[in-house]
Structure 1
Amino acid sequence: MSFKIYAMHVKLLKKVEHPWKNIRQSKYRPALVFCSAIPFFQQITGINVIMFYAPVLFKTLGFGDDAALMSAVITGVVNVLATFVSLYSVDRFGRRFLFLEGGIQMFICQILVGSFIGLKFGTTGTGTLTPATADWILVFICVYVAGFAWSWGPLGWLVPSEICPLEIRPAGQAINVSVNMFFTFLIGQFFLTMLCHMKFGLFYFFAGMVAIMTIFIYFLFPETRGVPIEEMGRVWKQHWFWKSYIPDDAVIGGHDEN
C-alpha cells in the first residue's frame, strides 16, 4: 500500500509546474524560510569541524599522533551510534523536542570545551593538557557529536522534506541541499584560519550560533510529527507568527487547498 502511495506521489510530482514560482508565494513562506535556515544552522553548529579536522584538532590540543587518530575514530563511532538513536526517538519525542534538546546539549558542550581549552592555553596558545583534562575534552566533544547526530543531523534532511508539499518540493529540496553544501564548503575552507585567529573563542562562536538556532526553533518551528504534507497549511495557519503569511483561502476544512 505504501509503495502505491509513493508511486502516486511520484506521478503527481512529475506533473508539478513552476515550483520555483510557487515557492515564492506567501503561503509557502514558512517552507522557504526553513528550507534555507535549517541547512544553514546545521552547518554552523560546527559539526563538520569535528568530522573533517578531528585528527588535526586533537593533535593541536596536545594529543599525541596515535591518541589524536584514536579520538577521531571514537567521535566517528559515536556519530554513527547516536544517529541510530534518532530512528527510535524522532517519532516518539517529536522533531521540535529533538531540535531543542540537541541544541541545548551542543551549546553546553561547546561552552565547556572552549572553557577547558581557554583555561589551559589562554590567548597565547601556549600550555599543555593534563591527561585528565584531555579525557574530559574528548568526552564533551563526544557528547556534542551525539547531540548533533540524534537531532540536527538527521532532522536537517527530514524536516525540509516533510514541510514541502508537492507544488514546491523540487525547489525546496534544491534549496536545502544547495545551502547545506555551500556552508559545508565555507566551514571547511575557513575553519583553520578561524582557529588560528579566534583560538578557544571559536568554540564560543559556534556555541553562540547554536544558541541562536535553538531560540529560532523554539519560537518559530511548530511540531510536525504525524502531520501529513497536505495539512501543513493548517499547521502554519495555527502558528502565532506564520499565520499572517497564510491566506484564509489556502486552508479549507482543515486541509491545505492544494
Structure 2
Amino acid sequence: MLAMLLFFYGLLFGSFFNVAGYRIPKQISIIKPRSSCSNCKQTLSASELIPIFSYLIQGRKCKRCGSAIPAFYTWIELLTACLFALAGLLMGWSFELLVALLLISLLMIIIVSDGLHMIIPNRVLLFFLPLLIVVRILSPLEPWYGSITGGFIGFFLLLFISVISRGGMGGGDVKLFGLLGVVLGLKLVLLAFFLSCLFGVIAGYVGMAKGKIKKNQPIPFGPSIVAGSLTSYFLGESIIEWYFQSIGMG
C-alpha cells in the first residue's frame, strides 16, 4: 500500500518537478502563469495536466494545435513515480524514507534543469540543503560523522577537478556533489562520482555513435550525476561488497 501510494504521489510530484526544472533556471515563477502549450501558448486545462494519462489520451499531441508533446516530461513523471515506490518498498515507514524522497526530488529537478538548460540552479540546491541535513540528522549515517566527511570530500574533489580542468566541471556540479556527500557519506559519494563519470562517458559515446553529439560538444553532466548518485544510494553497498569479493578482499 505504501509503494502504491508513493507511486501515485510520484506522478503528481514528477509533473511539478518538470515545471520547477524548466522554470527556475529561466527565473519564472513556478506558480504563475499556469502551464501552457509551448507551441500555441494556450493555457492547459485540468484534463490536459493529468500525469502520463493526458499524454497518452491526447495521442502525444496538443489538443488545439496538434504539435507533439515532448516525451521527456512524461518519462520524468514515470521515473519519479517508480523511484518513490522503490524507496517505499526498501525503506518502509522510516526517517530514511524521507531522505530517499527528498534526494529523488532534488535529482529529478536537476535532470530537467540541466537537461534542458545545462544549469543546476543555486536556488534548488539551497532549498534542499537544510531539508537534507535535518533528515540526515534524524537518520544518521554510520559512523555519525560520515555526512561531514562525505560533504567535504564531495565538494573539494569536484572543486579540484574544476580548477585543473579550467572550468570543465561546472560550479553547479561542484556544489551538488557537496550536498550529495552529506546524504551519501564518504564511501558512497566517491562511488557516485565514479559511476557518474562512467555513465557520462557511455552517454557521450552513444550520442556520438548515433550522430546526436558532435566531438568536443558540451553535454550536460547532471543526468549522469543523477544516475550515478541514485545507483550508489540504492545499490552502492552491494556494489562495493561485490567488488571487494571479486578481487579477493571480501
Larger radius of gyration: 1
**TM-score tier (shorter):** under 0.3
TM-score (norm 2): 0.28
TM-score (norm 1): 0.27
Q: Which has the higher contact order (CA 8 A, sep 6+)?
A: 1
Structure (1/2) with the larger helix percentage: 1
